[in-house]
Structure 1
């Protein structure tokens, strides 16, 4: 029973465990309860420990356990309560520092390239400053403003006495200015500085004396800059350019985003974005910038103009990902370091894996942000589709390889294409169906019936298990091992070919509907008991691959298609309208993965045909070692008894890969002295070697009679280190099919 309590009190649940406890257990529980609550007020525990209480005098002797719906508090979190971070996150986040270094490096490179421009601007400013300085000094020392007044008076034809008075005043003012203390000090300082500079030049040379000119250039630069600002007071002036505004490459910064939004008319010249937090850069060089847009501009508007926005940033749209934050004005911009999927596909980790556990999922590929994608295929089947030649079969190899490397995964193959794509898988598959002829399709229908029967048997086994062993009626690794219920992986390539054969029959529509219903039933229910179906079709239309079959497959992957309609046939209706379409992808190994949680573009890992051959060979060896090679694949194994078993034991005992005939005879004699493999009394070495060699050949030929296989003696290195005739372990394993 669960109760809801107002005033923010904690919700409590009461569970009656009386039928499960005996008297001894109830006494122990009572003691534990008292120990848990004895230090709390009124015998009620606080919200972190919960409370356990027993009815002391129940009529039926039952016990009641009371618990609180409160998650345990992490000890690290508890220890951190009340503490304030001392060091700001901006100083400890490695992603922030990577972005800072990138911005600084870009600005340094930008300014270094433009340094000749900056030098010319500085020299020009110094020249302007020198001219302005001389002009202003001359004007002050000679009171030129009086001359300007005299010119104005002359133009209005004033009395000559006025002009004469003005000239007299000018001479008087000029003499007073030249006698001022400031003027005298300035002239004295300038003369002294010039004399010192000449003396340094005579003593050390003008090159070494050049740093003494820095103050002069500094003053002249200041005068020139002031003159430029005076000429254009409304225009900003700077010798150095703004790297963020002028650069069309390099790190994306707040300034660059603001300029781009202004360029595409989403913001006015007065508006700008406000950063939300700090820009970060991951190990791959991808940048994430969070910002808040001005009022009137929402994230959706930027998404709608994603191409124009990318162009304004000087980037291809494939490098951008725009997401909305908490509010419509919060934008999360992700920028890729390079164009996603522009490099070669990574080699699958399954290529080098010695063994794999299908319960850990299938390493599938990476998305545009470089995040690795692992598919959990046990609880949802897979449908592959798309045009030929764009990597559909290569992508399908990934789950097949994962199943092949798990010796406890039973592989079932139905290849209706009939080519050589899955030839290697025949070495480990329990059932193999090749081709789309009527007999193969009939065998496929029988296989589906067998799988349905197996599914029903497994569910019956699971229902008979104690509830503690089947918490959610799903197969677990422990159940699979204990009750002999291995994971079943059924690969169906070009399933539309099988459907086409069924439809061509006399009662084709009826049989077709029945087959589709059986497959849908397997997919819906079989996933809970360890059945995985991996199907592929080029263009699964409503007729060739009906929706009743497609709709129950929760994971789908499509490579390039010719149009949105074909893409939706694989990925699901409406995916193209939501922006997830495989139409026009045009890149081998790149497709759209649609899952229950959403859809995204994926570049799948690469497994070449040669890699797949090696993987299947390892899978066969793993199954032989684990004793799980069954069905079709096991039909090629010879029964390892008699002389073949004895020779294998001899190799294992010697621990080498090559043995001479005499070496094998000695080892066989040690294993069974009564078998007459040893050297007889008085028998020469030559005669003994000839006898045991002939006997080995005869018994091996008898053991292999009717199998179509031979095990011939070849030149080997004996245990004594000499060359001789004998056998190799590799040849023995090949003959045995192992």
Structure 2
């Protein structure tokens, strides 16, 4: 595009050409930046949307004539010093890695100092010999002698040899008279004289630093001679710490050498670091880099073991993660072999109180990242060989539940040992041993929990929708409606299954029990029921898949083979690289969750520490009035009305008794106690009177214990519906 302007006489004065149309975008951008910078340097600037300046109409009246720029928040922040400093100078992790590299390099070169000294001496000696040779050749023109030898061999004539000898003497004499030669010889003699004088005056120790320039010159001459002798060879004075030291920090150079050694990169290729390597407080290093074209992160992962070996590390000490693109690789390197030391103490050991709603701090992975389990919505199964920490691992969620006074603990220990005797001090129900009576009590407890679960869901359904948005128990609902979290610990559950299977109709009873447990796990998690079970080797016979498959979290310690590991963690886990076979270390296992599986080291809780935790849990429950059942039986003397009601159940053998049924039994036992129907008293009035008396005396007996025994709808001995009590409710209250 071009235009012209005209004068008043109609002549063309000039032609305007739009040069911007002929420029590339990059050039236009650069010109625009320059123009804006120039505009901002003028007296008032230009008020437009590009420069962001404001021109004052009355510049002379301004306090400071000049350009006033409108700065946004980012520009204001840039005026400080901190945004000017690169982030790498402020990153503590980067400085930790820098220090590690420097210290390792210093230590490496210190140990190699004798080698470096020998190289220096030999190279300097070569330089001295070459220097003397070259100086002699120059001062005495020895090249003429070589020409004379060539002439002699060709038999060109004695006169030519004589001429060459004369020329040599003439040239040598001329060279020795040159100013450069004179200055050099004068400097050398002066330097030697100064050294002698310094040594005689101050001693050889102080004279030695003065020799450094001479040795430096000799080394330079020797280095030059080595280059002349082998032009294609590389001579380095200092060895490469990254190549020679596999115990040092991982750097980009060391990674490049490792990839070359396993033939994933050629000698000409190298990686390109992305940012700087960082090191965390534990000494673990993270290095991000880009690989050359044709090499992707997936290919390095496929050869992870050779790659780790080339780095001088074990496979479990590295972790490879793909970055934004297939060529972006993030390498994590552990400072030490993961899980080579004892696990850290659990934070529950020193916690005064815990809320099960906050999850269970369970352990740490190989990167030192802590794992917190949320067991409220998924039960858990523990398995593995004896003696590898299965019970210790199971103790961690038990400790979290023990420290929550609003969590009601239920225990079924079919091992029958003393592993859980501390928990008996706070447990609402306790079943010890795998005898038939204990297994029957376990089955009854399962039925009671199913009834409790159905009761809770009925309560939740009756709540306003604002209180139960997703039909799940919440802390507020649990407190307001008396529905504490129930944690049911079952140790060696296969022992109970074995007892059931050995019965006459064991197979049918076994199937029913498994179905009830699976139902509890599937539905109970929404109303606050947690089942934590353990089994050594849960095979399809000892612990059926219908039970295992509904448990979402599983943890396995050492097993003898992949098959045993898959029985605990789930089918196919070993093929995906997650197996507990051959772990061989106490306290280390594989955790399988919905999101994936990984190796963990469980937090340490010793039996003595667990005893202290249970003692704190008991004190918390007594203070909160939530110590109930078995654990509370030692606090309550079973006497008075409660003992009489329990005796009524024993006499009748019934599971449910109406208030009138109890009153009749008590009247027979003691007619003078006033439980009988008075003369002229109607059945309704008598029932109301003895019902009120039962409630009043029960409340007095339970006063201060934190427990209640309410009248509920029951089937009386006469077969009609009425208000009364259940044997199971009384047992829960009394704990026996």
Q: Do both proteins adopt the same fold according to a TM-score greater than 0.5, normalized to the shorter chain?
A: yes
Q: Deviations over 1:680-738 (max 9, x none)?
A: xxxxxxxxxxxxxxxxxxxxxxxxxxxxxxxxxxxxxxxxxxxxxxxxxxxxxxxxx9x
Aligned twin of 1:53: none
Aligned twin of 2:307: 309
Shift of the 463–81 alpha-carbon distance from structure 1 to 2, 3 Å rule, reads: farther
Aligned twin of 2:476: 478
Superposed displacement of residue 540, structure 1: 0.9
Superposed displacement of residue 373, structure 1: 1.4
Q: 3-state SS of the aligned residue for 2:541?
A: coil
Superposed displacement of residue 117, structure 1: 1.4
Shift of the 574–252 alpha-carbon distance from structure 1 to 2, 3 Å rule, reads: same
Give distance in 1, aligned partners of 2:336 and 2:165. 75
Alignment of 1:127-206 (within 5 A): 127-206=125-204
Q: Deviations over 1:55-95 (max 9, x none)?
A: xxxxxxxxxxxxxxxxxxxxxxx955996642211111110
Q: Deviations over 1:577-601 (max 9, x none)?
A: 1111100000011000111121111
Alignment of 1:271-670 (within 5 A): 271-639=269-637
Give distance in 2, aligned partners of 1:199 and 1:611. 77
Superposed displacement of residue 564, structure 1: 0.8
Aligned twin of 2:17: none
Aligned twin of 2:668: none
Give distance in 2, aligned partners of 1:405 and 1:311. 46
More deviation, 429-438/555-564:
429-438
Aligned twin of 2:119: 121
Q: Deviations over 1:120-155 (max 9, x none)?
A: 211222111111111111111111111112112222
Superposed displacement of residue 211, structure 1: 2.0
Equivalent position to 1:90, from 63, 88, 91: 88
Superposed displacement of residue 374, structure 1: 1.4
Q: Deviations over 1:228-276 (max 9, x none)?
A: 1211221211211111111121111111111122222222221211112
More deviation, 139-148/79-88:
79-88
Superposed displacement of residue 199, structure 1: 2.7
**Structure 2 gaps, min length 5:** 1-71, 641-734
Q: Deviations over 1:532-565 (max 9, x none)?
A: 0001011111222121211111111000001111
Length-normalised TM-score, structure 1: 0.74
- Could you say which structure has the larger radius of gyration? 2
More deviation, 84-93/603-612:
84-93
Number of aligned residue pairs: 567
Equivalent position to 2:226, from 222, 228, 235: 228
Q: 3-state SS of the aligned residue for 1:349?
A: coil
Give distance in 2, aligned partners of 1:575 and 1:327. 28
**Structure 1 gaps, min length 5:** 1-77, 643-736
Q: Deviations over 1:174-210 (max 9, x none)?
A: 1121122211221222222222332333333333222
Give distance in 2, aligned partners of 1:535 and 1:499. 13
Give distance in 1, aligned partners of 2:312 and 2:220. 36
Shift of the 440–641 alpha-carbon distance from structure 1 to 2, 3 Å rule, reads: closer
Superposed displacement of residue 495, structure 1: 1.1
Give distance in 1, aligned partners of 2:85 and 2:638. 70
Aligned twin of 2:5: none
Give distance in 2, aligned partners of 1:358 and 1:269. 57
Give distance in 2, aligned partners of 1:506 and 1:320. 56
Give distance in 1, aligned partners of 2:155 and 2:551. 104
Q: Deviations over 1:76-118 (max 9, x none)?
A: xx95599664221111111000000000000011111111211
Aligned twin of 1:716: none
Q: 3-state SS of the aligned residue for 2:431?
A: strand
Give distance in 2, aligned partners of 1:306 and 1:284. 23
Q: Deviations over 1:334-392 (max 9, x none)?
A: 11111111111222222222222111111111111111111111111110000010000
Give distance in 2, aligned partners of 1:419 and 1:79. 68
Give distance in 1, aligned partners of 2:328 and 2:529. 44
More deviation, 507-516/359-368:
507-516
More deviation, 218-227/321-330:
321-330
